[in-house]
């Protein structure tokens, strides 16, 4: 290890803790797990939208919300590494750096896939909403047509007790 690497190592240990390599590995592993879970739920989501199963969809969205919160918490823990990323990459040997980059690319690919499916699912939900609005409008027109043929509504009592 050169003097420059020793200085970087000392700086990183001071900023990130003695086991910063293990912490980085753990954070990336956790991100991969969480995005993998989110990816799986994203695939199920479209099926529920297509089936119109709103009860199960709401449950799935709640589960996704918990995963997204965990992703945000993990991202916050990654922030100190981001602030000194140049030093981190210089301190890692070539093999470790390639592994970190490969795993971060996998996280990014999962996130991109989820975002792409979510955009398509948003469009599908909008189309279902529009279809439902058209159906409801059609019901309103049918009700109006039936009312028009029913004649005027009678006012007052229909039956009277005249004998007391």
User: For the segment 34-84, what is each residue's pLDDT rounded down to a tens digit?
Assistant: 999 999 999 898 888 888 888 898 899 999 999 999 999 999 999 998 988
Q: Does residue 145 have a pLDDT over 70?
A: no
Mean pLDDT of the chain: 83
Instruction: For residues 106 and 110, give the distance between their C-alpha atoms in angstroms, rounded to a whole number.
Output: 6
Residue 35: predicted pLDDT: 97
13 — pLDDT class (breaks 50, 70, 90): confident
Residue 77: predicted pLDDT: 93
Q: Does residue 150 have a pLDDT over 80?
A: no
Query: DSSP string covering the chain, please?
Result: --HHHHHHHHHHHHHH-TTHHHHHHHHHHHHHHHHHHHHHHHHHHHHHHHHT-HHHHHHHHHHHHHHHHHHHHHHHHHHHHHHTHHHHHHHS-HHHHHHHHHHHHHHHHHHHHHHHHHHHHHHHHHHHHHHHHHHHHHHHHHHHHHHHHT-PPP-S-SS-----
pTM: 0.72
Residue 123: predicted pLDDT: 83
Residue 140: predicted pLDDT: 61
């Amino acid at each position: 290890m050169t003097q420059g690497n020793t200085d970087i190592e000392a700086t990183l240990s001071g900023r990130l803790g003695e086991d910063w390599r293990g912490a980085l590995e753990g954070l990336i592993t956790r991100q991969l797990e969480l995005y993998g879970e989110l990816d799986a739920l994203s695939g199920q989501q479209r099926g529920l939208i297509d089936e119109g199963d709103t009860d199960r969809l709401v449950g799935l969205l709640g589960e996704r919300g918990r995963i997204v919160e965990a992703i945000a918490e993990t991202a916050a823990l990654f922030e100190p590494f981001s602030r000194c990323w140049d030093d981190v990459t210089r301190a890692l040997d070539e093999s470790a750096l390639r592994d970190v980059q490969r795993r971060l690319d996998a996280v990014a690919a999962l996130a991109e896939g989820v975002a792409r499916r979510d955009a398509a699912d948003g469009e599908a939900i909008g189309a279902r909403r529009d279809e439902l609005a058209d159906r409801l409008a059609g019901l309103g027109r049918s009700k109006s047509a039936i009312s028009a043929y029913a004649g005027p509504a009678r006012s007052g009592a229909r039956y009277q007790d005249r004998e007391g």
